[in-house]
Amino acid sequence: MLTTFPDQVSSDAVLTTFIYLVAAAAVILVVLGLGLIDMGLVRRRNVLDTWIQKITAAMVGGASLMLGGYALWQWQFNQALGVPHPLLQALQDWWIGGHVTDTAAGLLDPKAVPEADVLQIFLIFFVTFAMATMALIHTGVVERIRPLPLYVMSFVIGAVLSPLTGYLCWGSVSPLTNRGVHDFDGIFPLYIFAGTWVLVLACRIGPRLGAFSSHSSGARPVPHHLGFVGAGVLLITFAIPFVAIGSGNLIPGQGFFGISFTDSGLGLVVENVFAALFGGGLMGALIAYRRRDPSMALLGPLTGLVICGTLFDIGNPVKCLLLGLAGPLVGLGTSMLLRRLRIDEPKVVPLALGPGIVGALATGFIEWGTRTGGYPGLDGAYALGHATITPWWQLVGVVATMTTAAIPCFLLCLIFEKTGTLRVSEQTEIVGLDIATWGVSNFGDDLEPPVVAVAPGSGQVTRPVSDEPQAGVLS
């Protein structure tokens, strides 16, 4: 059948669609990078199960968002455009079997669905963001969470909570953006949301054996190979510029704008990304040498990227470089606070939550008064640039995001705690998840002596689980 609406698949439309497709693929590289980081930091006997849990959680989160979660984000545009029953219409259009979702773009009237191809690819971009959110959350509780609660959480987050946070804080006519909350690179729905979820989950699930005090079995957190952390960091830094491009509005013939239609440019965004990367990387290396802590050199660049994520579209390289320098300092301070509180979470909260919050608030001060929000062709409450960025609205966005994550996480934890299915057993943690779950041993040639018989519930073994020194992460 010939295309009915050729404008939907014009050369400009195909080019724009391809750019968003590259951005979506780049988010998958972030998931891969997180997997490599975890592979380097977990005990050798948990490597296989760590990969399986991370990949499966990402798949569940992405699939559940595709089922209908994307409609929650599209809800804001139906509201702004005056569509009757905006949420119901969004669900009818954008669930996996909806008319817009399962129809070729060339067959959709642009008067009803403008840029249909772009919106369909943006659905996949959102799917990959849900995958990255779950991969990041899993990073915070590796080696001790059971599969069932992780996958249930993945479904709830992908189907409802992740797109709901995007609806509130990310988009040009979202309820909070329309009042002055500003985000660009998904700092609110990805980093602050995931960091808050991990903070609550880590508090409820408890520390790994031997994390803060010796365990009778000798078990303790032992990095498998820190070299994989460096590979994961480089892969994420390779992907982030492409992800950033997908976090804006590319309008052929007019230019590139932030997701909230702030004035920006492709070149400027990429410059800002690298300035933030260098700021975090240099400060992380300085701290690493001063503290003799290699993890700061490896993970410092990521803190620079996170702390500047809300600034990429409206800042400049000097601002991003200076703010990026603060990323490792905020991450280190967050990690020290967690250790003081005896919360075993040395990765996600110091890397995502601390820098994410500080960066969002800093953007409110740095770009105070910058115009944001609105939609082309609309006036009044949805006119382009009618809202202005302020520190207090950034704070409102932070609080709204943390609340959206913290309360459901706490309730789900209580449910699984009551049924005794939140955390793996002590014996399983000592022996290792690979051998306990999959019957596979990954430490035959390791320095870690094999575990001999473990009496159920006793936590007693005949020799220590590991002779290797413990390495810290952002600590």
For residue 249, what are the β-bridge partners? 257
Q: Is residue 469 part of a domain?
A: no
Alpha helices (runs of H) in 312-425, residue ranges in sequence order: 317-340, 348, 354-366, 391-418
Q: Is residue 142 part of a domain?
A: yes
Q: How large is the average pLDDT for residues 7-20? A: 84
Q: Which two tokens stand for residue 359?
A: 């960066």
Q: Is residue 307 part of a domain?
A: yes
CA separation for the pair 334, 282 (Å, rounded): 19
Q: Is residue 105 pLDDT above 70, yes or no?
A: yes
Query: Which has more pLDDT, 411 or 451?
Result: 411
Share of the chain above pLDDT 70, in %: 92
Q: Is residue 454 part of a domain?
A: no
Q: Is residue 136 part of a domain?
A: yes
Q: Is residue 468 part of a domain?
A: no
Number of separate domains in the chain: 1
- The whole-model pTM stands at 0.91
70, 87 Cβ separation under 8 angstroms: no
Closest CA to 129 of 236, 199, 233, 31: 31
Q: Is residue 457 part of a domain?
A: no
Q: Which pLDDT belongs to residue 461?
A: 44
Q: Which two tokens stand for residue 2?
A: 């010939």
Please state, as a whole number, how many other Cβ atoms lie within 10 Å of the Cβ of residue 189: 28
Q: Quick one: pLDDT band at residue 226, thresholds 50, 70, 90?
A: confident
Domain containing 300: what range?
9-426
Q: How large is the average pLDDT for residues 20-40? A: 95
Contacts of 144 (CB under 8 A, 6+ apart): 205, 206, 208, 423, 424, 429
CATH number of the domain where residue 27 is located: 1.10.3430.10
Q: Is residue 452 part of a domain?
A: no
Rounded to an integer, what is the distance from CA 424 to the centroid of its chain?
A: 24
Q: Quick one: pLDDT band at residue 380, thresholds 50, 70, 90?
A: confident
Q: Which pLDDT belongs to residue 2?
A: 57
Torsion 91-74-59-421 (CA) sign: negative
